[in-house]
Amino acid sequence: MIKKIPVEKWNPLQFIGHKVLRKKYAVSSLGRAASYTEDVIKDGKLLNGSLTSGYRTLNLHLEKGNGTIYLHREIAKLFCKKPSPKHKYVIHINHKKEDNHYKNLKWATLEEVGSHQQSSPQKIAYKKRQADKTEGLKLNAIIVKAIKEAINSPKRKLTYKLMAAKYGVSEMTLYRIKSGENWGGIK
């Protein structure tokens, strides 16, 4: 039996192979998941599921193999309006993957997902740690400034491959320096 919360709404999960399972499954507007036989409140059992890359999942054993269901996606399908077909991804507004309350979920485009990830507190903290890092680096601010000047010089004669060999870094590092992804604080 599941303790009833007045504002919580339960919707059954419908997915390929759901009719061959012994139990039925449902998710709630508050982000909970349950298995049940007849009625989710009367004979339901709350499920913790598993964590996959920080996301709460249910692993279902079907006749034609196993299926993993991401709870945040299922909750968004049932409780959140999808603005357009381009909105294929579900993001957690507060960046907390374990908070699957429907008000914390939002359908997003690929561009919106990328932008949202850049504003994540974890990503911001990571960028700060990287910017403050001084040990174990191949490059320093003086060398990066020289690289940026060389890359942006209209009279540049060295290819990226030759510049990478000259400075002992990969070509990808040079492209990341140029775009500002690496060493963005150096002008």
Q: CATH number for the domain including 67?
A: 3.90.75.20
Q: Are 44 and 34 in contact (CB under 8 A)?
A: yes
Residues 118-151 have pLDDT tens digits of 999 998 898 888 777 777 778 888 899 999 999 9
Candidates 153, 149, 135; CA nearest to 177 is 149
Residues 165-179 have pLDDT tens digits of 999 999 999 999 999
What's the pLDDT score for residue 18? 62
Residue the block writes with tokens 């139990």: 23
Question: Does residue 83 lie in a domain region?
Answer: yes
Number of domains the chain contains? 2
Residues 66-115 have pLDDT tens digits of 778 899 999 999 999 999 999 999 999 999 999 999 999 999 999 999 99
Question: Does residue 184 lie in a domain region?
Answer: no
- Say yes or no: 35 and 87 in one domain: yes
Question: Does residue 129 lie in a domain region?
Answer: no
What's the pLDDT score for residue 131? 73
Question: Does residue 2 lie in a domain region?
Answer: no
Q: How confident is the model at residue 117 (pLDDT cuts 50, 70, 90)?
A: very high
Residue that is last in its domain, among 76, 109, 142: 109
What's the pLDDT score for residue 65? 64
- Say yes or no: 104 and 18 in one domain: yes
Question: Does residue 4 lie in a domain region?
Answer: no
- Say yes or no: 162 and 80 in one domain: no
Residues 6+ apart with CB under 8 A from 98: 54, 56
Question: Does residue 47 lie in a domain region?
Answer: yes
∠ Cα 14 19 21 (to 5°): 105
Residues 64-78 have pLDDT tens digits of 667 788 999 999 999
**Structural domain of 20:** 10-109
Which structure tokens are listed for 53?
């890359």
Candidates 15, 41, 37; CA nearest to 24 is 37
- Say yes or no: 95 and 138 in one domain: no
Measured CA to CA, the distance from residue 60 to residue 15 in angstroms comes to: 11
∠ Cα 183 147 134 (to 5°): 40
- Say yes or no: 46 and 96 in one domain: yes
Q: Above pLDDT 70, what percent of the chain?
A: 95
- Say yes or no: 104 and 36 in one domain: yes
Candidates 47, 70, 86; CA nearest to 78 is 70
Question: Does residue 3 lie in a domain region?
Answer: no
Put simply, whether the predicted model's pTM sits higher than 0.75 gets the answer no
- Which phi and psi angles does 35 have, rounded to 5°? -110, 150
